[in-house]
Amino acid sequence: MTLFTWIDLVYLLAVIGFILALKGLGSPKFARQGNLLGAAAATLAIAMTFAIPSVRHAGGRLILMVVAMVIGALIAVPAARRVKMTAMPQMVAIFNGVGGGAAALVSLDAFLILTQYDASVGKPAVYRIVEVILGVLIGCVSLSGSAIAFVKLQELITGRPITYPGQQVINAIVGLAIVGLAIATILTANVALLVAMAVLSLVLGVIFVLPIGGADVPVLISLLNSFTGLAVAASGFSLGNNLLIVAGTLVGASGILLTRMMSKAMGRSLANVLFSAFGSVVTAAGGADGSADSRPVRAGTPEDIGVLMAYARKVVIIPGYGLAVAQAQHIARELADLLMERGVEVFYAIHPVAGRMPGHMNVLLAEANVPYDELKEMDEANPEMPTADVALVVGANDTVNPAANNTPGSPIYGMPIVHADQAKAIVFLKRSMRPGFAGIDNELLFDPKTTMLFGDAKDTLSKLVAAVKSA
């Protein structure tokens, strides 16, 4: 067998590893092994790539390559190790964006090599240019789109949809310009045209993401993840590399399915998520800082609420992103344990999009060692809500907003919610009356059954623990 056959065989092994890794990631039992298997497959494939003669004998370029890899690893490992669990979505967005950027650069470089070094063979075939265009276009959109998703999640800019006059016209112009430049590139194989298209693709990524509301950013990251996969597949076409095509396509296809499952969890179609400028109507009604609504709410003391829970039969804890921001998952578990010791039935009702990514809340509670069997997914928890004595909503808002069920005009209408409103009493632990991430007012806050306890979730939960202890 020749060296290249060996390399292809190793790549095939890596492909099998990736498929099994994805399979493993889908099951709670094997998820970690799945990820490790994926990492092993990637390491194997990368090691084998050093055996390719053009890489092995690249001299100075080989050194540069290793330098770039060392720098990358030195940045990536500490960043990934130190990131807080709450900031996980941003981190994934960044790693996704740079992957898209890498794929775009590969396609661009492949085009340069094709047109400059191989100039003797004349203009490249149309399909080769199309492969390059797709890699550059999708990779650039993913790069700049992920960057904007990052600044939205990091709250460097508002989480609300950003709209401006003539938005549709500008989008259309950019889109048409990209199509025009792509056709011109195909006809002329001119590098300058391709670079111009790359720049416009970066612009497209930005204007595509700006009007998407903060609450929808998780769906968006999943979609951009899928895009990067497709960009990698496109660069695989340019290089004639099966490994890149399969790995990229696996991620591209599974990412699109995952994106659909996520928008379904919000009761909306993907098109609606992406193009409705979600929340822009609501911000006007909701008031920027929550002070606009002056209706009275009932604020309770920790002691009252502590007694209420200590003598309840069933308490349902509904955690939201506020719990995570306050790093209150440990103290929440302490409260739950304390109640269970007193014989109260306690479980956590987890909305599929609680937190900022699907399953995000499960990760956070797992960090606090909350056992799996105390976590109930929304569909499992809802039938039990009418028999719950207390629904303790910790830093959640949109995921319990009854407007999703009974206000057809509301932007979240149709999204399934945890039915906190059906519990006999509802307790909200909230920092303020500020609306949730979607920027929508919540009628439940004004419900006569509702008691508010304002403050940082960690602080108020500690007070509740003390109150339950002395109850």
Partner 1 sequence: MNVGIIELLTIFVLAAFVGIEVVSKVPSILHTPLMSGSNAIHGIVLVGTMTIMGQAHGTVQVTLGFFAVLLATLNVVGGFVVTDRMLEMFKAKPADRATSPESRSAESADGAAKPGASS
Provide the annotated active-site residues: 398
95 touches 224 (CB < 8 A): no
CA proximity to 97, closest of 289, 196, 198, 228: 228
State yes or no: residue 49 binds partner 1 (CB under 8 A).
yes
- Residue bearing tokens 């004595």: 389
Residues 398-437 within binding reach of partner 1 (CB under 8 A): 430-434
Binding segment (CB under 8 A) for partner 1, from list 162-170, 273-281, 398-406, 451-459: 451-459
56 versus 313: smaller Cβ distance to partner 1: 56
State yes or no: residue 14 binds partner 1 (CB under 8 A).
yes
Fill in the amino acid letter for 335: L
Residues 311-370 within binding reach of partner 1 (CB under 8 A): 322, 325-328, 330, 333-334, 337, 350, 352, 357-360, 362-363, 366-369
State yes or no: residue 45 binds partner 1 (CB under 8 A).
yes
Residues in CB range of 320: below 8 A, 6 or more apart: 351, 354, 355, 361, 393, 394, 395, 396, 397, 399, 436
Residues 107-146 within binding reach of partner 1 (CB under 8 A): 108-110, 112-113, 116-117, 125, 127
Angle at 144 between CA 168 and CA 136, to 5 degrees: 95
CA proximity to 456, closest of 331, 366, 356: 331
Query: Which of 268, 344, 458, 467: binder of partner 1 (CB under 8 A)?
Result: 458
Fill in the amino acid letter for 39: A
In this structure, what DSSP letter does residue 348 have? E
Residues 223-242 within binding reach of partner 1 (CB under 8 A): 225, 228-229, 232-233, 235-237, 239-242
176 versus 192: smaller Cβ distance to partner 1: 192
State yes or no: residue 51 binds partner 1 (CB under 8 A).
no
379 versus 387: smaller Cβ distance to partner 1: 379
Strands 390-394 and 425-430: parallel
Residues 53-112 within binding reach of partner 1 (CB under 8 A): 54-55, 58, 61-62, 64-65, 67-69, 71-73, 75-77, 79-81, 83-85, 88-89, 91-92, 94-96, 98-99, 101-103, 105-106, 108-110, 112
Query: Which of 247, 266, 310, 388: binder of partner 1 (CB under 8 A)?
Result: 247
Residues in CB range of 354: below 8 A, 6 or more apart: 319, 320, 321, 360, 361, 396, 399
Fill in the amino acid letter for 299: A
431 versus 449: smaller Cβ distance to partner 1: 431
Report the alpha-carbon distance of residue 321 to residue 457 in Å, rounded. 10
CB of 309 to partner 1, least distance (A): 16
Residues 277-306 within binding reach of partner 1 (CB under 8 A): 289-290, 297, 299-302
Residues 151-170 within binding reach of partner 1 (CB under 8 A): 155
Residues 177-196 within binding reach of partner 1 (CB under 8 A): none
**H-helix segments, 189-328:** 191-209, 217-239, 242-265, 270-275, 280-286, 302-310, 321-325
CB of 128 to partner 1, least distance (A): 8
101 versus 411: smaller Cβ distance to partner 1: 101
CB of 405 to partner 1, least distance (A): 20
DSSP code string of 397-428: -GGG-THHHH-TTSTTTT-----GGGSSEEEE
